[in-house]
């Protein structure tokens, strides 16, 4: 099983955003972090963080392995479970297109306090300056 834990950091005053991803495969954890393009909201940053993360690990994904994607963003998880988002459909479609076999993918909401790794990675990027 592959696990992808994702979070975004967003600074409203500057519209800066960053992604934090923890990729877990074969019990090995790989932390990933990056700044993101200009986002208008934290919600948009959450979608963009997962898109960025999936692009980074694309070569590790295959269609016969369970993929569990965890996020503390309810709008992200709910939108992906329904495969619909009123304001973020383009991002939903892009995410779904990056996944090899949707029958093997599970989107799971987790509380903030269980998502500390990706959270800290994303904020490390924003607080570098």
What is the domain partition of the chain in residue ranges?
2-126
Residue in the structure block whose two tokens are 């599970």: 106
Q: Are 22 and 2 a contacting pair, CB within 8 Å?
A: no
Q: Is the pLDDT of residue 129 over 70?
A: no
Condensed to tens digits (0 to 9), the pLDDT of residues 12-28 reads 999 999 999 999 999 99
pLDDT tens for each residue of 51-100: 999 999 999 999 999 999 999 999 999 999 999 999 999 999 999 999 99
Whole-number pLDDT of residue 55: 98
Quick one: CATH architecture of 2-126?
Answer: 2-Layer Sandwich (3.30)
Token pair, residue 37, equals 């393009």
Output the 3-class SS for the chain: CEEEEEEEEEECCCCEEEEEEEEEECCEEEEEEEECCCCCCHHHHHHHHHHHHHHHCHHHCCCCCCEEEEECCHHHHHHHHHCCCCCCHHHHHHHHHHCCCHHHEEEEECCHHHCHHHHHHHHHHHCCC
Distance CA 37, CA 87 (A): 18
Q: Are strands 16-25 and 2-11 parallel, antiparallel or unpaired?
A: antiparallel
* Beta carbons of 126 and 16 less than 8 angstroms apart: yes
Per-residue pLDDT at 62: 93
pLDDT value, residue 48: 98
pTM of the model: 0.96
- Which pLDDT does position 90 carry in this prediction? 98
């Amino acid at each position: 099983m592959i696990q992808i834990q994702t979070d975004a950091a967003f600074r409203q005053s500057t519209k800066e955003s960053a992604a934090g991803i923890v990729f877990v495969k074969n019990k090995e954890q790989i932390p990933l972090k990056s700044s993101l393009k200009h986002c208008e909201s934290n919600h948009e940053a959450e979608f963009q963080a997962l898109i960025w993360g999936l692009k980074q690990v694309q070569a590790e994904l295959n269609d016969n392995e369970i993929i569990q994607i965890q996020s503390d963003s309810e709008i992200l998880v709910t939108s992906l479970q329904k495969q619909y988002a009123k304001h973020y459909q383009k991002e939903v479609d892009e995410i779904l297109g990056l996944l090899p076999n949707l029958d093997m993918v599970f989107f799971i909401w987790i509380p903030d306090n269980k998502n500390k790794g990706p959270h800290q990675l994303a904020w490390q990027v924003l607080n570098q300056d």
